[in-house]
């Protein structure tokens, strides 16, 4: 993500980074605004499947510092967004996607935890804890 301080993220992505695909731009804008929906994910610290990861980190891991908790939530947001972008990229949209942090060209210091992103058609049945743990180990 661009380190610049942005007021209108969507316009910035469209004009500066030339992100023409509206869905990609929406996902990246949500990430930039910290509006990524985090639900039904495996906690990266204890491995439990939790419905609300942010609340779980606050109540279940009280020894965590605020900065550490924020970094963990941000990491989850990035990994969920990366999963959604991968699904979008695999669907081969009419308007091609601009390469971003979630592809293999990402800098080596960017390590994202593996979190399953559920495609919209599968959203009705959340993954089981065993499925989530399998995906985290890949």
pLDDT confidence of 101, banded at 50, 70, 90? low
Closest by CA to 41, choosing from 27, 55, 61, is 55
Each residue's pLDDT tens digit, 19-76: 999 999 999 999 999 999 999 999 999 999 999 999 999 999 999 999 999 999 999 9
Asked if the structure places residue 1 within a domain, the reply is no
Asked if the structure places residue 3 within a domain, the reply is no
pTM, rounded to two decimals: 0.69
Q: Which CA distances in Å does 104 have to 8, 64, 90, 107, 108?
A: 28, 31, 14, 8, 9
Asked if the structure places residue 31 within a domain, the reply is yes
DSSP states along 49-105: EES-HHHHHHHH-TTS-HHHHHHHHHHHHHHHHHHHHHHHHHT--SSPPPP-TTSTT
Q: How many domains does the chain have?
A: 1
Which domain range does residue 66 map to? 9-137
Asked if the structure places residue 19 within a domain, the reply is yes
């Amino acid at each position: 993500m661009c380190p610049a301080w942005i007021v209108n993220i969507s316009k910035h992505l469209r004009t500066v980074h030339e992100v023409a695909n509206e869905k990609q731009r929406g996902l990246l804008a949500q990430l930039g605004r910290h509006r990524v929906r985090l639900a039904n994910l495996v906690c990266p610290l204890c491995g439990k499947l939790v419905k609300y990861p942010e609340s779980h980190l606050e109540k279940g891991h009280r020894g965590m510092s605020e900065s550490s908790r924020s970094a963990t939530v941000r990491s989850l947001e990035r990994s969920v967004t990366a999963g959604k972008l991968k699904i979008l990229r695999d669907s081969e949209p009419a308007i091609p996607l601009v390469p971003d942090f979630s592809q293999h060209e990402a800098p080596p210091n960017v390590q994202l935890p593996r979190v399953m992103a559920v495609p919209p058609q599968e959203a009705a049945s959340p993954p089981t804890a065993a499925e989530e743990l399998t995906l985290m180990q890949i």
